[in-house]
């Protein structure tokens, strides 16, 4: 199993409802930003190297709310490798309390053509350390 990558962010007022709880749709935006940051940290400008990826499926399960002012910690790792796809598992916590778990299925694609292609070995290696 790969080491987990941690991405943290502070919940802002405008991301919450009147009760101070994060709107559900914002969790997908947080995950998307965390995955992009992780990819660029490990792979640099991956599009220039002939790799890109697209979301195929996202599954979320909530355990409790994140609220205004919380620091949301997202721990990411690849949980499955396919030939042209891979799953990213995301555990979201705030103050050590579980907020959500997500599994995101991505498909490796040819940049600017968006056609499926095998996940390059260097991508597997970079995301598995």
Residue 13 CA to residue 10 CA, distance in Å, equals 10
**Strand, coil or helix: what is 3?**
coil
**Strand, coil or helix: what is 120?**
coil
The mean pLDDT of the chain is 95
Res. 27: pLDDT tops 60: yes
The rounded percent of the chain whose pLDDT value lies above 90 is 92
5-127: CATH superfamily: Hotdog Thioesterase (3.10.129.10)
**Strand, coil or helix: what is 83?**
coil
Residue 11: other Cβ atoms inside 10 A: 21
- What is the pTM assigned to this prediction? 0.93
Residue 54 CA to residue 38 CA, distance in Å, equals 15
What digits encode the pLDDT tens for the residues 31-48?
Answer: 999 999 999 999 999 988
Cβ-contact 41, 103 below 8 angstroms: no
Cβ-contact 72, 81 below 8 angstroms: no
């Amino acid at each position: 199993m790969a080491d987990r990558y941690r991405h943290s962010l502070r919940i802002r007022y405008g991301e919450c409802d009147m009760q101070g709880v994060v709107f559900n749709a914002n969790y997908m935006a947080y995950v998307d930003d965390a995955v992009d940051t992780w990819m660029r940290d490990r792979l640099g400008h991956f599009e220039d190297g002939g790799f890109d990826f697209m979301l195929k499926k996202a599954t979320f399960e909530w355990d409790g709310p994140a609220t205004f002012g919380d620091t949301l910690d997202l721990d990411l790792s690849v949980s499955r490798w396919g030939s042209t796809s891979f799953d990213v598992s995301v555990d979201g916590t705030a103050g050590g309390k579980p907020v959500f778990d997500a599994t995101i299925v991505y498909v490796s694609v040819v940049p600017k053509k968006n056609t499926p292609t095998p996940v390059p070995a260097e991508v597997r290696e970079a995301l598995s350390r």
